Amino acid sequence: MVKKRQILVIGNNTTGCTPKHEKIAYEIGVEIAKSNSLLITGGLGGVMNACSHGAKDANGLTMGIIPQDDPTFANDYCDIVIPSGMGFTRDFLNALSADGVIIVGGGSGTLSEVCAAYMSKKPMVAIRGIDSAITYIDGYVDYRKNVKIIGVDTPKEAVSKIIELITA
Amino acid sequence: MVKKRQILVIGNNTTGCTPKHEKIAYEIGVEIAKSNSLLITGGLGGVMNACSHGAKDANGLTMGIIPQDDPTFANDYCDIVIPSGMGFTRDFLNALSADGVIIVGGGSGTLSEVCAAYMSKKPMVAIRGIDSAITYIDGYVDYRKNVKIIGVDTPKEAVSKIIELITA
Amino acid sequence: MVKKRQILVIGNNTTGCTPKHEKIAYEIGVEIAKSNSLLITGGLGGVMNACSHGAKDANGLTMGIIPQDDPTFANDYCDIVIPSGMGFTRDFLNALSADGVIIVGGGSGTLSEVCAAYMSKKPMVAIRGIDSAITYIDGYVDYRKNVKIIGVDTPKEAVSKIIELITA
Amino acid sequence: MVKKRQILVIGNNTTGCTPKHEKIAYEIGVEIAKSNSLLITGGLGGVMNACSHGAKDANGLTMGIIPQDDPTFANDYCDIVIPSGMGFTRDFLNALSADGVIIVGGGSGTLSEVCAAYMSKKPMVAIRGIDSAITYIDGYVDYRKNVKIIGVDTPKEAVSKIIELITA
């Protein structure tokens, strides 16, 4: 078995992604690279772009699974591009491809990925204290209460926690 | 143009579906049949089964889009079965197939369909006052506050409202 | 069980569809309607349009599963539209949705549907004597030699044969 | 832009894969690794397993896109696994993910990937002189006649030719 650890990072595309989200995402990318895991994102802008940027700056390996059927729509920091051609339905593919998920804020697209990850029983952590639509999932699942989605406070903690959950 | 009005009804599968949910779903099915619309569901149990049952009892037309690749997994009340073979990814297909969506409670699967419907800008109504995971979507979108997802109180109101929103 | 018989008709889109193909497809649509089966097509032009046209002229029920995520791309003869949003990947969905398949010529898209139908063990018939890319499939499967894909000579024979194979 | 060259290798799963197919596939994997490209396969047995084995023995990077939703179904030589959960529909995802395709024999599944690659205009080469279902595609496209799919005689030639076609 040569399979790498595959960590999905999700959050807002360009719209709704603040400099604070970007800074956190970038640092998560750096930590994922340092952990020698594969970073998977949705391959577009905002959190996806910042996180992949961080991973590449730290010499990590990155993959983007994009809605379009043309790889040139991916951001510049994806070593590997899956141009799924299935529109936002690719959100499910992202979740299925993850061994674990890190949530950095996000809106309805991110929420659909959380649902898919939840249904396929993937461990999830979420950065506390940033704007997000994802507060309640499936009956009182609240990451701020550390139920099902584990709340974390820093990029470093996010990556070490998700690796711990994947390995458990 | 001969295309029928296509209404998707979503909610819990067998697990989590109470007699109250089933009664409401059945009546929504009857109303959809009476409105001469096509009822689309996920084709399995619980809300999906009850709603299709109601529609067939009122001589309506029903379609079930199921996760499996074998049509025999569909409930007994589907005139048409799409055995998608794509697992829960079919939730996106359900949403894309809808001209409008009626929400009858639900958990993480239902929530993923709501996200997909939201992203593809489909009108949505939700039955008020029943247990549901779907309280907050995309930054304070709360159907109990009538934001984005319109709250309704009865099956009859659900169907007339969604038809009004589809036609608008 | 209320499920209808679901027959998929495949062949060229506008490009590559001759008046001869259209005439045959139209008549197949009429026969499918008369047999009280659901006609499924890819919902676009050429063979898909002609066949749906025939079915509607004979008061049949028609469904189109299209690559786009917008139902207005479907032809005017679809009672039900599945705007799959998954591009040509929808070819597999077409095949999975069929109880049986009728082939009216066709190119690479049609051939991918034949492969998908073959892999999911759906019965297939093909009109003999018209231009088609589909001559050899999976090791000397040749519909002109009546191996695996059964060759037929008329629209009437195509529909009666596929119904016989579905029922067997 | 950090994107790697992504080469898809397709052919029979365990059934239908002879020692000759395996030997060729293994050597293609070695050549792809030496060219510093990413090897993509369907992640299962036969040609997919042999090719990934070769790539790993030569320290290459490998990805398997599998039908199942569980990564443990992939062979032991995949660095990255996409457990698509969409059954054989993943054949289209394979084709879309490729910058170019190398064909090593194959049956109906391989043929569906060829159709998808053809529709998305990906360059293709095929090893001559081995058993294969893929002889005619889209009207007299015959790789033995070097039409559309370019015939090659050795693993080394296959990889150098597909790189030339991707770069062109």
pLDDT 10s digits, A80-102: 999 999 999 999 999 999 999 99
Q: Is the pLDDT of residue C135 over 60?
A: no
Sign of CA dihedral C143, C147, C148, C153: positive
- Pick the range with the lowest mean pLDDT from A15-24, A125-134, D87-96: A125-134
pLDDT-based confidence at residue A138 (cuts at 50, 70, 90): very low
- Could you tell me if B63 lies within 8 Å of chain C, comparing CB atoms? yes
CB distance D108–C138 less than 8 Å?
A: yes
- Could you tell me if D86 lies within 8 Å of chain B, comparing CB atoms? yes
CB distance A86–C87 less than 8 Å?
A: yes
User: What is the average pLDDT across D139-163?
Assistant: 73
Mean per-residue pLDDT of chain D = 89
| pLDDT at site A136 | 41
Of the residues C66, C73, C89, C92, the best mutation for testing chain A's interface (the one with the most A CB atoms within 10 Å of its CB) is C89
Mean per-residue pLDDT of chain A = 89
pTM of the model: 0.93
| pLDDT at site C107 | 79
- Could you tell me if D56 lies within 8 Å of chain A, comparing CB atoms? yes
- Could you tell me if B97 lies within 8 Å of chain C, comparing CB atoms? yes
| pLDDT at site B139 | 33
Contacts of C127-132 with C-beta under 8 Å, sequence gap 24+, read C127/C24, C127/C102, C127/C103, C127/C151, C127/C152, C127/C153, C127/C155, C127/C158, C128/C152, C128/C153, C129/C153, C130/C20, C130/C21, C130/C24, C130/C104, C130/C105, C131/C16, C131/C18, C131/C105, C131/D139, C132/C103, C132/C105, C132/C106
Q: Is the pLDDT of residue B45 over 50?
A: yes
CB distance D79–A6 less than 8 Å?
A: no
Work out the percent of chain C whose per-residue pLDDT is above 70.
Answer: 89
pLDDT tens-digit readout, A44-68: 999 999 999 999 999 999 999 999 9
| pLDDT at site A57 | 98
Q: Is the pLDDT of residue D146 over 90?
A: no
Q: Is the pLDDT of residue B146 over 80?
A: no
- Could you tell me if D85 lies within 8 Å of chain B, comparing CB atoms? yes
Work out the percent of chain A whose per-residue pLDDT is above 70.
Answer: 89
Query: Tokens standing for C27?
Result: 């008549």
B partners (3+ CB pairs within 8 A) are: A, C, D
Distance (Å, whole) CA D106 – CA D11: 4
- Give me the residue label for tokens 């597999």: C92
| pLDDT at site C129 | 77
User: What is the average pLDDT across C128-142?
Assistant: 53
| pLDDT at site D130 | 76
- Could you tell me if B86 lies within 8 Å of chain D, comparing CB atoms? yes
CB distance A69–D120 less than 8 Å?
A: yes
User: What is the average pLDDT across B23-32?
Assistant: 98
pLDDT-based confidence at residue B132 (cuts at 50, 70, 90): low
Q: Is the pLDDT of residue D6 over 50?
A: yes
CB distance A92–D80 less than 8 Å?
A: no
| pLDDT at site C133 | 56
Mean per-residue pLDDT of chain C = 89
| pLDDT at site B149 | 80
pLDDT tens-digit readout, C25-62: 999 999 999 999 999 999 999 999 999 999 999 999 99
| pLDDT at site A151 | 84
CB distance D56–A92 less than 8 Å?
A: no
